[in-house]
Amino acid sequence: MCPHCRAFITTSDKICPYCDTPVGPRAIDMRTGFFAELIPSAQFATITILTLNVGIFVLTLLASVRAGTPVMQAPDGMTLFRFGSSIPMQYAEWHWWRLLTAGFLHGGLMHIGFNCWALMDVGTHAEQVYGTRRMTAIYLLATMGGFLVSGLTGHVSVGASAGLFGLIGAMIAYGTFNHGLEASMVKQFYVRWMIYGLLMGFLFPGVDNMAHVGGLATGFLAAWATGTPGYYRDFRDKLWDTLAGGMIALTAYAFVRLVLWMTTAGSVLG
C-alpha cells in the first residue's frame, strides 16, 4: 500500500505508479534474526499474540485439572482469577496488572477458538495497515482500556476480544480519516464487524460488552493519534516505536507481578 495515496501496489514497486511517490521497504521486510524468519512476515505481531494466547490457555487448563476440574475443556473461575482475570475495581484483590494479564486468558475452547479466528483476520489486516509496532501498541492499549471500563462497571472478565475490538476501532479510524474508495470500503467492512461483535455480546450470556466498548474506543483514539506509517520516518514513528516497546515491557512486567502475587498473596487463597 502506498504511504502517500493509500493505493494498493505490489511489494516490488519502488515508485507508486499512481502518485509517483518513492516507496521504501516495509518494516516487516526489514526484520532480521532467526526467530523473525520462523514467523510469517505479514503476521509477526498477530502470530506472536496468538501463540501467547494458546500457550497460556493450555497452562490454565492444566492448572484447572490439577485443582480438580474433571473435564479438560475450560479452566474454572478460581484458576482464571489466579492467572490474572479482570475483576471489579472495588475488590481488594484488584491490581493494575490485571488490565493486561486478563487479555491473554480465555474461558473455554469456543471462547479462544473464536477470538483466535477473528484475531488472525483482523490482526493481519491491521498489521499490514499500521505496521507491527503501531499495531502492537494499539492492541495492548486497547486491552488495558477495555478491561479498565470492564472493571469500573463491575465485571469479571477475560479474553483477547478487548484488544481485538481495539483493532476493529483502529480500522474504522483508518477508514474515517483517510479518503478514497479503499478507505470507505475498509470503514464499511469493519463497522459491520463492530455491529456483529456487539450484537453477539447482547445475545450470548456472559459476554462482557463493556470490555468490547472500552477496547473499541481506545483503539479508535489510539489509531487517530498514531496515523499510518509513511515513507519518511518522522517524530510520530519514533514516538510509537518507543510506545510499542514500552507497552511490551509493561506487559512483561505485568506477568512478573502476577507470578509474584501467585507465589505470595495468591497462595493464601487455598
Predicted confidence at residue 94, as pLDDT, reads: 87
For 116-137, write each residue's pLDDT tens digit. Answer: 999 999 999 999 888 889 999 9
Q: Which domains does the chain have, with CATH numbers?
A: 31-264 (1.20.1540.10)
Select which of 64, 85, 157, 161 is catalytic.
161
Q: What is the pLDDT of residues 66-119, one digit of tens each?
A: 877 766 678 988 999 999 999 999 887 789 999 999 999 999 999 999 999 999
The catalytically annotated residue of 12, 150, 212, 267 is: 212
Q: Which residue stretches of the chain have pLDDT < 50?
A: 27, 30, 34-35, 39-42, 267-270
Which of 95, 91, 97 has its CA nearest to residue 155?
91
Question: To 10 degrees, what angle do helices 109-152 and 209-226 make?
Answer: 80
Instruction: Assess whether 212 carries a catalytic annotation.
Output: yes
Query: pTM here?
Result: 0.83
Burial degree of 105 (CB within 10 A; 0-12, 13-18, 19+): buried
Catalytic site includes residue 4: no
pLDDT score at 270: 47
Instruction: Compute the distance between CA of residue 212 and CA of residue 208 in angstroms, rounded to an integer.
Output: 7
Cell of 182: 479503499
Q: Is 30 exposed, middle or buried (0-12, 13-18, 19+ CB in 10 A)?
A: exposed
3-state secondary structure of 230: coil
**Cα dihedral value 122, 127, 128, 134, nearest 10:** 140
**Long-range contacts, stretch 17-22, CB < 8 angstroms, 24+ apart:** 21/231, 22/231
Report the run of H or E that residue 117 belongs to, with start and end: helix 109-152
Which set of grid coordinates corresponds to residue 138? 494499539
- The DSSP code for 2 is -
**How confident is the model at residue 166, as a pLDDT?**
97
Sign of CA dihedral 263, 208, 107, 76: positive
